[in-house]
Structure 1
Amino acid sequence: MYNTLIVDDEFWMLEGLKKVIRRDCPDYTVTAVAKDGKQAIACLEKEKIDIVITDILMPGMDGLQLLQEIRRRGWKLPVLIVSAHSEFDYAKQAIHYGAFDYLLKPLNRTQIVSTLERAKTVMAPSAKGREDVLNTVPVAQAPGKELVERIRQSVQESFMENLSIADYSERMGFNASYLSRLFKQETGKGFVQYVTEQRMEAAISMIKDGKLSMTDIAKQIGYADYKHFRKVFKQYTGTSPKFYQNGEGEADDEEERGE
């Protein structure tokens, strides 16, 4: 059983989480509850806790301060942040201090169960004790730059596949909107734009190589529809693939139809 500490100053939230965990998470038990960060630290000092679920906005020591203090003390247990606030700065700070995940209120049962199920993969058996928990930092705790770099590397290797930020969100355990904003902040580009650029640069390289037909190139980089590929390519380079190949500059509409 994983001993859980819930930290929230709202009674209904505490009771709601306790109910879901008791009913739908058989591997977890709510060992303690706290109304603010100071009470939570006191619980952690005297109780064997495996995971913390905490709100952000609370009187006294808030959730982010609690997370920071937990890390300052060297406690490596996973901390799940829940908040009614979707501001990017909150999520960024939470990830910076090593939060396992950041969920937005109102929570639903599926969110809670899914997140706690993932959390089990980063918690060591209770016999090892708190100090051995999370010796290997999971993807969900990677700093923003490292997280985005992992996504970039993955896209560079598999841009020909049907990729979406939602796929990475599910795989890495993050809110999709958070990942999208983080990716744009770190790269200066939206996720879809980045994938498109990787595809177009690959197409340009293949066109210069001259070994494949335009239709085959389109399929190689993930476009089953050649017309769609041609449209995107023209938006990216200013000319159609065939005219790019011939070095003739931009085609007019009549010539485009002639393709």
Structure 2
Amino acid sequence: MNRLLIVDDVAIIVDSLFELMDELPGLELECYKAYSAPEALALLERIRIDIVLTDIKMPEMDGLELLDRIRRRWPRCKVVFLTSYNEFEYAKRAIASGGFDYLLKTEDDDKIVGAVRRAAEALREEEKMAHSIEYARRQLETYRPTLQREFFRELLQGRWTEEERLAERLEELGSPLAADEPLHLLIGRIDERPPDERYADRTLLPLSIQRIVAEMAGDRLTFFCAAVRFL
């Protein structure tokens, strides 16, 4: 459910829009109202608001300042301005500054409802994108050790020679190494394993070796360990 705040210094406009939006079918909204920009900002300090439907010219504060204050508090909030004919250029500047849309105060209810619906849809799409990015980040963390092993295999084979690309790849893989700093290679090999070794032991042994190296290096070295298997 999205929270909608309606702001105007004309009470009858606020109240009629509140009644329209509060009973809107097919769009779940929790509606709030304010009769001035300071009253709106006081409410915004206490409650996360998703969509603001506001007059663009009010006595205490203009639309650009209100938009700036809203975006500083709630960056994802969608602000839709209500304007008169002679405020069009002003409204366009507000949109260029990050407003979502602007409408004439004389527009019919369908146009206003449509703008609020588009704002709600934009919020849904942004949320889906944020979930996708977070899922990709978790997947990267899951597969990071494998990606690191493959990268260092390629590095040892001399397949990364451009410093700029190497620096970018090291950052992607979360490596503390720097592409423009000297690199000392320490290679260890496990020659023998117990015949009754369990899979868990096989997995934990390289981690144990890495821990020993970390304790020996202390704060003297920036190091990075990766288990690489060569066939």
Larger-gyration structure (1/2): 2
Report the TM-score, using the length of structure 2 for normalisation: 0.50
Point out the structure with the larger helix share. Answer: 1
